[in-house]
Amino acid sequence: MKIFNIKDCYQNDWDEYIIGSREIGKHSVYFVYGEVPRNERRKMGAPKGHDEILYLLSGEALIEKDGVETKFAKEQAVYMENDPYTFIALTDCHYVVAGAHTMQHNH
């Protein structure tokens, strides 16, 4: 067992807090915590070779994909498989992502 303080795991490249292969020493799963301020648009999506489930802890947002906007509310989750999209925060939002590697690769 290993306990993490998520606020110690901030990664500038992604503007998120990530517990991943560097922290756990394995390249199998990862956990992400993110904060998006109101009116911010953020490009997101599971990269090739990854599956992710995004869960909105708080706030309201839109998910824009292929020109279609879908409302995304607190306590909803969305499954992503190599799906780039834009996350649009309608209010301050907090979310978590649970992710897994679907094929062996290096970062």
pLDDT in tens, 57-103: 999 999 999 999 999 999 999 998 777 899 999 999 999 999 987 86
In a domain, 107, yes or no: no
In a domain, 11, yes or no: yes
CATH number of the domain encompassing residue 73: 2.60.120.10
Helix, strand, coil share of the chain (percent; to 5):
5, 55, 40
Q: What pLDDT shows up at residue 9?
A: 93
pLDDT at 43 over 60: yes
Q: Domain range holding 27?
A: 6-101
In a domain, 1, yes or no: no
Domains in the chain: how many in total? 1
pLDDT at 105 over 60: no
CA angle 36, 101, 77 (to 5 degrees): 40
In a domain, 67, yes or no: yes
In a domain, 39, yes or no: yes
